[in-house]
Amino acid sequence: MRLNEVIGVLATVVFSALFITSLATRPLLYDYWAENLGRVVRGSFDDVGRALSQYVWGDFFPALTGVIVLLLAIVVGLSSLLREGE
């Protein structure tokens, strides 16, 4: 694998892990903008995060795992197709 392919795969894994972690834990945005965020988002932001994390880690987890594997397969497939063209 070339350096660009390795960077692409690592970026995909890191950003998907960050996305899943942000859904499963208390968002950092709430810690920094606690009072101002309450005016923008009605209701409790923790409740929304808790409901999303329960949905992602509970009912949706097998489908989420399949989507992540599919996205990684697409990235690897596209990088190999682009490499064959050179």
Q: Can you give the pLDDT of all 86 residues of the chain as single tens digits?
A: 688 788 888 888 888 877 777 667 666 666 666 666 555 556 677 777 777 777 767 767 777 777 888 888 888 888 887 776 65
Spell out the alpha helix ranges (H) of 1-44: 3-24, 28-32, 34-40
Whole-number pLDDT of residue 35: 64
Q: What's the pTM value of the predicted model, to 2 decimals?
A: 0.35
SS3 of residue 14 by DSSP = helix
Whole-number pLDDT of residue 26: 67
Whole-number pLDDT of residue 33: 63
